[in-house]
Structure 1
């Protein structure tokens, strides 16, 4: 009887947490849409991320599905990806290889969604920065505020 109660409460807490995550992810997606981000087309998303970095005063060059952004002597490989699923470690492995190929000092993977634990772990070990939907929203807001204050 006691074990059934513990299992019931653990299941209830898990459902509440998962529901909270889904609601917050939905809100972040809506907020990004309000800022003008589109998640229908990967090519358009790449252009929007390029504009974000241009607003932050970076020089931006497009390389296939990647962006190379430069400011001062720093070169950053930016990899925007739209996904309705969690981003997996395979993409991070590809980014690590591309970072060496393009001789970038740093790499950033940007998505409208989130990253699975293995992708986070690999990115952490390889010094690849990850921007999920929430981080993208924060950067877009700070870029917008920075642009407006300079006008």
Structure 2
């Protein structure tokens, strides 16, 4: 018998779509908080509209990821804990191997158009907690539309069919 999609994924809105001019609060995803269920996979979908300003090395927008075992001490994610989709491999479309800040998407050049589809990145690390932050660097007098979703997948405990 076939299971429905809701049995293997759980979408979560982390940052509601809004026009922002400064960093949103960090959001922590707990992979193991539902009836002893542990979600084996996390995909983040980060949507960015047309730049409200001309992005540069000083005035930028980034998606920052950090991980933790205890929800207290966080470290930036490593290159071996992140996978990019075929539509945005590292080194293109502002995607990058995590740097020392934990940035996996860094927009630091002109962005005249909104993303057609969200930028997606998979966390494949083993930590229970993943922290995601939409980070604005510099001064952003005009806002940029942003939104962030997580999709948790492959639970270790499946529902009864």
Normalized against structure 1, the TM-score is what?
A: 0.28
Which structure has the larger Rg?
Answer: 1
Bigger proportion of residues as helix: 1
The answer to which structure, 1 or 2, has the higher relative contact order (CA under 8 A, 6+ apart) is 2
